[in-house]
């Protein structure tokens, strides 16, 4: 009798539309059995109604989203709710729309925060550059490019010295040592 009341309530909540009745019957049987302290497993119900476990789980989660699932056993037996719920497919669509809207809002906020962070980072770098002591004299040209002198106007740049490729050690103008090959 309780399973029939559950099915009526599921039908009133539009859970039956577009569905085969065996999944709803299985969910109603499982809930009714547990309401009356009969411990039935999901596998036992599946073997009776011949549906997949995932189908039964979906129907149970859809029923969980209805106001009827929030009632106690006594309230369910005494009270008959007058209101109807929206169909599960409609509520799922509404949930997806809300998630997309939230994603858009969060992405806009993330872009704003990233822009703010980059402006702060630029300001910090400018402040650090201005607060560093300035090199004077012959060392001033070595400070910016990692030890390479900046070219002066009107003076041709010197070609790199022989053996100054990366990985070579220059000991003498005619002697070069290649680095030892590492373990492979």
Q: How far apart are CA 117 and CA 124, in angstroms?
A: 10
What size, in residues, is the chain?
A: 184
What interhelical angle do 53-64 and 42-49 show, nearest 10? 110
pLDDT of residue 175: 52
CA 121 distance to own-chain centroid: 27
Q: How far apart are CA 157 and CA 149, in angstroms?
A: 10
pLDDT of residue 73: 83
pLDDT of residue 117: 94
pTM above 0.75, yes or no: no
Low-confidence ranges of the chain (pLDDT < 50): none
- Taken in order 140, 142, 143, 144, the sign of the CA dihedral is positive
pLDDT of residue 97: 92
pLDDT of residue 166: 55
Residues 15 and 7 sit within 8 Å (Cβ to Cβ) = no
pLDDT of residue 181: 63
pLDDT of residue 169: 52
């Amino acid at each position: 009798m309780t399973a029939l009341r559950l099915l009526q309530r599921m039908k009133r909540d539009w859970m039956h539309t577009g569905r085969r009745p065996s999944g709803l019957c299985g969910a109603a049987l499982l809930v009714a059995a547990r309401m009356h302290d009969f411990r039935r497993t999901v596998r036992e119900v599946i073997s009776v109604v011949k549906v997949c476990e995932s189908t039964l789980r979906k129907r149970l989660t859809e029923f969980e989203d209805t106001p009827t699932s929030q009632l106690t056993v006594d309230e369910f037996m005494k009270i008959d709710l007058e209101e109807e719920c929206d169909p599960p497919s409609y509520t799922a669509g509404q949930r997806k729309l809300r998630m997309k809207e939230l994603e858009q809002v969060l992405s806009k906020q993330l872009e704003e925060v990233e822009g703010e962070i980059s402006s702060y980072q630029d300001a910090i770098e400018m402040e650090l550059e201005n607060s560093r002591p300035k090199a004077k004299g012959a060392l001033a040209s070595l400070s910016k490019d990692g030890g390479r002198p900046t070219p002066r106007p009107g003076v041709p740049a010197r070609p790199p010295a022989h053996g100054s490729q990366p990985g070579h050690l220059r000991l003498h103008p005619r002697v070069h040592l290649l680095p030892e090959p590492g373990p492979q």
